[in-house]
Structure 1
Amino acid sequence: MTRTSNRVLDLWHRMAAKPGGKWLFTRLICLRAPYFATIRPTFDTLEPGRASVRMGKRRAVHNHIGTVHAIAMCNMAELAGGVMTDVTVPSTHRWIPKGMTVEYLAKAETDLLATASAGDVPDAPEGQDYPVQVDVTDTRGTTVFRAVITMWVTPKRERA
């Protein structure tokens, strides 16, 4: 499937190399989808087929045992996976999360990095599932959480 220009990816390319650009880019994404701001994320990388997002371990995202709460990691995974999908899917198509399966593999006791990746975008005329894998690692490189987010990708409808 051929990729055409994407406003989000163009914005990333303009901002990422500038001082504070990644932080500001992430704030703009969070203005569009405010719930993501609750984890105070920062995009680290963004390109078609791959994105990574950082989140600091702080009290506001803790659970009752002082580690990063499972739902904060789900939020992080959906942010990384959703924005990665947005810059990967051609402008002729649209997407929406359809479901997410998660695995909690270890206690999340440090700052975290979520890395989203996916294969080729489906080109089904009636729509198709597009699985996005997100691995969340701690500062020691241990995978503490894994998610597969099923995105539903369909061609955009022609406007009358």
Structure 2
Amino acid sequence: MSSATDRVPEATEVPRLLRYYRMLEPLPLGLGKRIFSEGFKLAAPYFRTIPAVVDSVRPGEVRVHMDDRRRVRNHIGTVHAIALCNLAELAMGAVAEMTIPVSHRWIPKSMQTEYLAKAKGRMQATATLDLPSPLGDKQDIVVPVRVTDPSGKEVFVARIQIWVTPKR
């Protein structure tokens, strides 16, 4: 199995979302990342319920952070479990869009989660996606997402299964 990061896509097959990210990223003061993040969240409006910003993007790996704000906390003052799920799904969606060839489409099929520790502070999610080579006609692919707190401690993990099929 080869990693998606091992192969450089042809210019015509670079996903549109990756082209947008590369175009906006150089803007100063993190403005490009914020513009990109807000645009990405418009595609799936529920993502706008969390204060998330896409930090880095490359085929095979995406990093997203979510600030600890009152609106994402639960009754005990920690980041709410569903806010963590939303962060994981946002990271998974971004990495799928950046990695899956434009000849294919994907949709989430299931999510398994584990809450490992109290989530406090800015959460950092890293989603990775290694595509099988060759990519089959119809298949399930698992996207692991790891969420850490400001100290680097893993507080949440998700395994999101996506269904990938060719566009017809």
TM > 0.5 fold call = yes
Alpha-carbon RMSD: 1.3
Question: Does 2:109 align with 1:124?
Answer: no
Q: Residue 99 of structure 2 contacts residue 129 of structure 2 at CA under 8 Å; is this kept in 1?
A: no
> What is the deviation of 1:121?
4.2
The AA in structure 1 aligned to 2:147 is V
Question: Does 2:16 align with 1:7?
Answer: yes
Q: Secondary structure at the match of 1:113?
A: strand
Structure 1 runs not aligned, ≥5 long? none
> What is the deviation of 1:31?
1.3
1:88-135 CA distance string (max 9 Å, x none): 00011000000000000000011110000121246212x101110000
Q: How many residues align?
A: 156
Tell me the distance in 1 between the aligned counterparts of 2:69 and 2:160: 25
Q: Secondary structure at the match of 1:96?
A: strand
Residue matched to 2:108: 97
Aligned with 1:41 (options 49, 52, 60): 52
After TM superposition, the score normalised by the length of structure 2 is 0.89
After TM superposition, the score normalised by the length of structure 1 is 0.94
Structure 2 runs not aligned, ≥5 long? none
Tell me the distance in 2 between the aligned counterparts of 1:28 and 1:95: 20
Tell me the distance in 2 between the aligned counterparts of 1:119 and 1:7: 19
The AA in structure 2 aligned to 1:124 is G
Tell me the distance in 2 between the aligned counterparts of 1:111 and 1:141: 10
Residue matched to 2:68: 57
Q: Residue 88 of structure 1 contacts residue 121 of structure 1 at CA under 8 Å; is this kept in 2?
A: no
User: After TM superposition, where is structure 1 displaced by more than 6 Å over at least 4 residues in a row?
Assistant: none
The AA in structure 2 aligned to 1:96 is I
Q: Percent identity?
A: 47
The AA in structure 2 aligned to 1:73 is L
Residue matched to 1:70: 81
Question: Does 2:33 align with 1:22?
Answer: yes
